Structure 1
Amino acid sequence: MAKINFGGVTEEVVTREEFPLAKAQDTLKEETIAIIGYGVQGPGQALNLRDNGFNVIIGQRKESKTWDKAVSDGWVPGETLFEIEEACEKGTIIQYLLSDAGQISLWPTVKKHLTAGKALYFSHGFGITYKERTGIVPPEDIDVILVAPKGSGTSLRRMFLEGRGLNSSYAIFQDATGKAKDRVVSLGIGVGSGYLFPTDFKKEVYSDLTGERGTLMGAIQGIFAAQYDVLRANGHSPSEAFNETVEELTQSLMPLVAENGMDWMYANCSTTAQRGALDWWKKFRDASKPVFEELYKEVAAGNEAQRSIDSNSKSDYREKLEVELKELRDSEMWQAGSEVRKLRPENN
């Protein structure tokens, strides 16, 4: 493992230089990787593994949209695409990539195929960390491992096709075979990770739930909406408000921050922007930190997990979700965004 200094804190990470793809392929050459679930993470991880030369099969329900998607992606029924139970039986590594609610529902089916020596792989620590709530308790004679790409399955696939990698965390919950470390690192390399950093199942789910509700999705939408509303209330047009709130950030600034860091961004903008950003960022930090502290406590207490389980397992969840998404979609800000995207040069 490589030792990297992160702002004065030293971490051990795994890079593709020290654990090359050829080593990962050799480690898993006798394994059959069964991807259970072909929705959010499944396609990206499965296709990357296949393109990287691993033996991959898909387990999915027949006569479903995701079965049809798998077929369109080149998975062949009866050869590399099977019903879920058959894929679980064939797989020596079962990548459990259903939604958290889906994992709870299907667990009795999957568990009976987890025979001694197999590996159960997650990309989220939810099911194991909250096992008292989910009922997901693996047999003691299998490996239980995790690789969590820090982004969507779509981004994982897109970056792979561009020759880049999406960073991932990895964890070992249970090492029954003595091979869990080599298995999990090989899978992390195989799915297309840029580099791998160690965590544990609890830390992964705590950070993930906090991030999703915070800067990755919840907080950013709240900040977008607040700034957009203030600009509109003060007479700015929808086009101006959206461009200053969302478009400039996502299309211009964030790619540069990703490449060079925020300090570089501050150093390479106008002196007026520098002064304002330096004067105001701590005020936003101080205003939002109590919300993040409350959020983390709710995650650690299991309350956020229980809310998700209760909501997502209801039969009318999809219908209620569509109502909430429609509220976002139909808001003036995102209607303006739809029109702005159409005006981008690449769309004309």
Structure 2
Amino acid sequence: MAKINFGGVEEEVVTREEFPLEKAREVLKNETIAVLGYGVQGPGQALNLRDNGFNVIVGQRKDSKTWDKAVKDGWVPGKTLFELEEACEKGTILQFLLSDAGQIALWPTVKKHLKKGKTLYFSHGFGITYKEQTGIVPDADIDVILVAPKGSGTSLRRLFLEGKGLNSSFAVHQNASGKARENAIALGIGVGSGYLFETDFRKEVFSDLTGERGTLMGALAGILEAQYTLLRKKGHSPSESFNETVEELTESLIKLVAENGMDWMYANCSTTAQRGALDWKNRFRDAVAPVFDDLYESVATGNEARITIEANRQPDYRAKLEVELAELHNSEMWQAGAQVRKLRPKQ
């Protein structure tokens, strides 16, 4: 592992230099990797593993849209594409990539096929960490590992095709074989990780749920909505409000942050913008800090897991979810965004 200094804190990470793809292939040469689920993470991980030369099959419910998607992606029914239970039987490493609700529903079937010597793989610590609520408790004679790409499966695939990588965490929950850690790293390299950093299942799910509800999705959407609404109330047009709230962020500034950090982005803005940003940054930080405290507590106590599980158990959950997503889609801000995107210069 490589030792990296993160702002004064030394951390060990795994890069492709010390664990190249060729080594990953050698480690997993006798394994059949069964990717269970072809929704969010499944396609990106399965396709990247296949393209990287691993022995991969996909398990998915037949006569579903995702089954049809798998066929379009080149998975062949009866050869590399199977019903979920058959894939569980054939696989030696079962990549459990169904939704959290789907994992709860399928767990009795998966557990039945987890014979000694097999490996159970997650990309989220939810099922194991909240076992009292999910009922997911593997037997002690199998390996239980995690590789969690820090982004969507779509991003994982896009970056792979660009010759890049999406950073991932990895963890070992059970090491019955003595090889669980090496296998986890090999799988992390195989799915296209940029670099890998070690965690545990509990920390992964706590940070993941906090991030999703916080800066990555929930807080970001809320802050954008608040600023857009304010500008509209003050008489600014939809175009001006959207450009000053979203477009400049996504098309310009956040790319500078990604390139070289927040200070680099500040350095490439006007002195007026710098002064204002520095003056107001701490006010926003202090205002939202109590909300983040409440959020982390709700995650750590299992309350967020309970809310998610109970919602998914409702027979009309999908219909209600579509209504909520439609409200977001149809809001003036995101309708303005649709028009702004159409007006971007074509390549």
Do they superpose with TM above 0.5?
yes
Structure 2: distance between partners of 1:127 and 1:314? 19
Structure 1: distance between partners of 2:312 and 2:125? 17
Aligned residues: 347
- Which stretches of structure 1, 4 residues or longer, exceed 6 Å deviation after superposition? none
Q: Tell me, what secondary structure is at the counterpart of 1:170? A: strand
Equivalent residue number for residue 207 of structure 2 = 207
Cα offset for 1:268? Answer: 1.6
Normalised by the size of structure 1, how large is the TM-score? 0.99
Cα offset for 1:315? Answer: 1.8
Structure 1: distance between partners of 2:265 and 2:252? 11
Q: Give the gaps of 5 or more residues in structure 1.
A: none
Structure 2: distance between partners of 1:269 and 1:149? 32
Equivalent residue number for residue 119 of structure 2 = 119
Does 1:58 pair with 2:58? yes
Cα offset for 1:255? Answer: 1.1
Q: What do the CA deviations read for 1:159-214 (whole angstroms, capped 9, x no partner)? A: 00000000000000000000101100000000000000000000000000000000
Structure 2: distance between partners of 1:96 and 1:341? 36
Structure 1: distance between partners of 2:73 and 2:80? 11
Does 1:67 pair with 2:70? no
Q: Tell me, what secondary structure is at the counterpart of 1:306? A: helix
1:224-235 correspondence runs (5 A): 224-235=224-235
Cα offset for 1:346? Answer: 2.2
Q: Tell me, what secondary structure is at the counterpart of 1:24? A: helix
Structure 1: distance between partners of 2:259 and 2:339? 28
Equivalent residue number for residue 270 of structure 1 = 270
Equivalent residue number for residue 82 of structure 1 = 82
Does 1:4 pair with 2:9? no
Q: What do the CA deviations read for 1:141-169 (whole angstroms, capped 9, x no partner)? A: 00000000000000000000000000000
Q: What do the CA deviations read for 1:2-56 (whole angstroms, capped 9, x no partner)? A: 0100011111000000000000000000000000000000000000000000000
Cα offset for 1:95? Answer: 0.1
Structure 2: distance between partners of 1:191 and 1:256? 27
Output the amino acid matched with 1:284: F
Structure 1: distance between partners of 2:323 and 2:181? 43
Output the amino acid matched with 2:163: G
Structure 2: distance between partners of 1:126 and 1:222? 25
1:126-145 correspondence runs (5 A): 126-145=126-145
Equivalent residue number for residue 250 of structure 1 = 250
Equivalent residue number for residue 188 of structure 1 = 188
Does 1:239 pair with 2:239? yes
Output the amino acid matched with 1:214: G
Q: Tell me, what secondary structure is at the counterpart of 1:345? A: coil
Cα offset for 1:227? Answer: 0.2
Does 1:289 pair with 2:280? no
CA RMSD of aligned residues (A): 0.6
Q: Tell me, what secondary structure is at the counterpart of 2:14? A: strand
1:36-55 correspondence runs (5 A): 36-55=36-55
Equivalent residue number for residue 342 of structure 1 = 342
Q: Tell me, what secondary structure is at the counterpart of 1:78? A: coil
Structure 2: distance between partners of 1:54 and 1:315? 39
